[in-house]
Amino acid sequence: MKILVTGATGLVGKYLVTELLATGYEINYLTTQKLKLNSLPNCTGFLWDLKTQTIDENCIDGVTVIIHLAGANIGKRWTKFYKKEIIESRVKSTQLLYKLLQQNTHQIQQFVTASGVGIYKSSLTENYNEDSTKFGTGFLAEVVQKWEHAADNFNNLNIKVSKIRTGVVLAKKEGALVKMMQPIKMGFGAVLGTGKQQMSWIHVNDLVRLYVFVVQHKLEGSVNAVAPQVVTNAMFTQILAKQLHKKIRFPNVPKFMLQLLLGEMHLLLCESQKVSSNKIQKIGFEFQYLTATEAISNLLP
């Protein structure tokens, strides 16, 4: 079985490709850079260009599943220009893949797209599952809703659509965990905002296993990709500090201060989504990292 992966050289993509190869799948991947055409061992690279909306049609030869991870990093400052790039990198890339399948003979049966728990309305008390329709109105929610809407169009081609609504991904060397560790390791750690905001997270190894599970079980619709234990920002900060053998000595960083420092991007730190993973667990998926303590302990150097 052959799978086409976009965003294969990104944080999640690199882990996912490794997992797919280990499971026995053949991998094609798309990249915008010629230098990366041969960067993934045992995989075949193809070029695409979102600006010109061009793509190497050979990328879908023999492919039955597309896993779409491509999208600009949301962890960079949200200027007006960059906000546009965040949306277009997700929506236009999805539209380009749709156009490719619409205009060519193919064997694609399933389209699996990354998504985010940021689609849900920020709340300290609401418990969200995949049937929840209380969506947010801020920029993050806008991004995810447009992203998912573009993916849903694949249903028109009689292709199963799976949307993986992912929480904060915890991984070694890069990503959110590394950024959260830095001030704590330097002795400047502090709880952000009130600290009461709910943080739905997932270990990267569980995330890529979940993608494989969705493909193997041909699941459709939305799937929340979050660990069973949701923690508050205050809890996560204390757990991380304990694992690093550090103490949190500074008072909470007020929300207005985060807004001054980060602009609109402060929403990444201050919004609250308590998200349930019951759906995927009931189907039979088993998390290896159930608690934040287990995940952090595994990922620290």
Residue 44 lies in a domain: yes
Q: What is the pLDDT along the chain (301 residues), one digit of tens a residue?
A: 999 999 999 999 999 999 999 999 999 999 999 999 989 999 999 999 999 999 999 999 999 999 999 999 998 999 999 999 999 999 999 999 999 999 999 999 999 999 999 999 999 999 999 999 999 999 999 999 999 999 999 999 999 999 999 999 999 988 999 999 999 999 999 999 999 999 999 999 999 999 999 999 999 999 999 999 999 999 999 999 999 999 999 999 999 999 999 999 999 999 999 999 999 999 999 999 999 999 999 999 7
Residue 263 lies in a domain: no
Residue 84 lies in a domain: yes
In this structure, which amino acid lies at residue 241? Answer: A
Residue 22 lies in a domain: yes
3-class SS of residue 232: strand
3-class SS of residue 268: helix
Give the CATH number of the domain where residue 85 resides: 3.40.50.720
DSSP string, 95-151: HHHHHHHHHS-----EEEEEEEGGGBPP-SS-EE-TT---B--SHHHHHHHHHHHHH
**Structural domain harbouring 31:** 2-166+202-225
3-class SS of residue 161: strand
Residue 89 lies in a domain: yes
Number of domains in the chain: 1
Residue 236 lies in a domain: no
Residue 181 lies in a domain: no
Residue 251 lies in a domain: no
Could you tell me how many helices (H) and strands (E) the chain has, helices first?
Answer: 10, 14
